[in-house]
């Protein structure tokens, strides 16, 4: 199998962390591509018509894409425990929350990068940050006990979303209002799977 990816993407990082947590590194080749919404790599477009990363190509079936689908597939393949039946709805909701944090943060990045100084909308960027801030507050108020439990897909998604805030929006100082979440992230970031997938700063 091959994972078509770009290491700076938080959705890619979530998938790469999952691969490592499940012990699947020897079965999946990671192929780094230079691709974006305005210039899609043809290999990616062929694998996923939406042109989005990550995409997982398989020898025995069609390409699997969307990080949530890929992570669920990999957990099934490895007979893992990242999606435990006994609390599946909490895990899936937390994973969706982590992905929503990524959505808002990536939207901020794209607005600034692809529209440039003259074309970007400050109101749009601040609206996306307001979403991110609400998510951070919700995680601090409602999810700390779950985040402190056994490692699951929801925790991985949140950790990768927070890591992306550090990568692209460090000036927002997200830790200032959510000290418990910040402390949890510092501990989770020490996991080998997280340390091995720290994205480049460029």
Report angle CA 79, 195, 67 to the nearest 5 degrees. 50
Whether 35 shows a pLDDT value over 90: the answer reads no
Q: Could you tell me the pTM of the whole model?
A: 0.93
Q: How many CB atoms lie within 10 A of CB 5?
A: 23
How confident is the prediction for the chain on average, in pLDDT? Answer: 93
The reported pLDDT for the residue numbered 140 is 98
Give the strand order in the sheet containing 29-32: 29-32, 2-5, 55-57, 64-65
Q: Which residues pair with 5 in a beta bridge?
A: 32
pLDDT tens sequence across 78-114:
999 999 999 999 999 999 999 999 999 999 988 776 6
Banded model confidence at residue 36, pLDDT cuts 50, 70, 90: confident
Q: CA–CA separation, 201 vs 14, rounded Å?
A: 17
Phi-psi region of 70 (alpha: psi -120 to 50; beta: other; left: phi over 0): alpha
The reported pLDDT for the residue numbered 202 is 52
Q: CA–CA separation, 127 vs 120, rounded Å?
A: 13
Q: Do the domains spanning 2-77 and 85-194 agree at the CATH topology level?
A: no
Return the domain boundaries, the chain: 2-77, 85-194
Whether 34 shows a pLDDT value over 90: the answer reads no
CATH number of 85-194: 1.20.1050.10
Mean pLDDT of 117-133: 83
Q: Which residue has better confidence, 186 or 60?
A: 186
Q: How many CB atoms lie within 10 A of CB 93?
A: 14
Banded model confidence at residue 50, pLDDT cuts 50, 70, 90: confident
> Quick one: CA torsion of 114, 115, 116, 117, rounded to 10 degrees?
-150
pLDDT tens sequence across 134-185:
999 999 999 999 999 999 999 999 999 999 999 999 999 999 999 999 999 9
Classify domain 2-77 at the CATH class level: alpha beta
Banded model confidence at residue 58, pLDDT cuts 50, 70, 90: very high
Q: CA–CA separation, 3 vs 54, rounded Å?
A: 7
**Which segment, 73-77, 115-119, 125-129, is predicted with the most confidence on average?**
73-77
Whether 119 shows a pLDDT value over 60: the answer reads no
Query: In sequence order, which residues have a C-beta less than 8 Å from that of residue 51 and are 6 or more positions away?
Result: 35, 37, 40, 44, 45
Whether 60 shows a pLDDT value over 80: the answer reads yes
């Amino acid at each position: 199998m091959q994972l078509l990816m770009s290491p700076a993407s938080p959705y890619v990082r979530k998938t790469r962390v999952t691969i490592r947590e499940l012990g699947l590194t020897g079965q999946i080749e990671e192929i780094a591509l230079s691709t974006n919404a305005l210039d899609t790599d043809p290999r990616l477009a062929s694998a996923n018509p939406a042109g989005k990363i990550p995409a997982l190509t398989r020898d025995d079936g069609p390409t699997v894409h969307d990080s949530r689908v890929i992570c669920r597939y990999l957990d099934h393949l490895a007979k893992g425990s990242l999606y435990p039946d006994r609390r599946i709805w909490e895990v899936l909701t937390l994973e969706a929350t982590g992905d929503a944090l990524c959505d808002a943060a990536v939207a901020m990045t794209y607005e600034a990068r692809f529209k440039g100084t003259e074309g970007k909308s400050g109101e749009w960027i601040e609206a996306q940050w307001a979403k991110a801030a609400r998510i951070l507050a919700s995680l601090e108020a409602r999810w700390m006990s779950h985040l402190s439990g056994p490692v699951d897909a929801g925790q991985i998604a949140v950790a990768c979303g927070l890591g992306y805030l550090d990568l692209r929006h460090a000036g927002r100082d997200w830790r200032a209002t959510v000290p418990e979440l910040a402390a949890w992230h510092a501990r989770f970031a020490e996991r080998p799977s997280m340390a091995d997938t720290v994205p480049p700063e460029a």
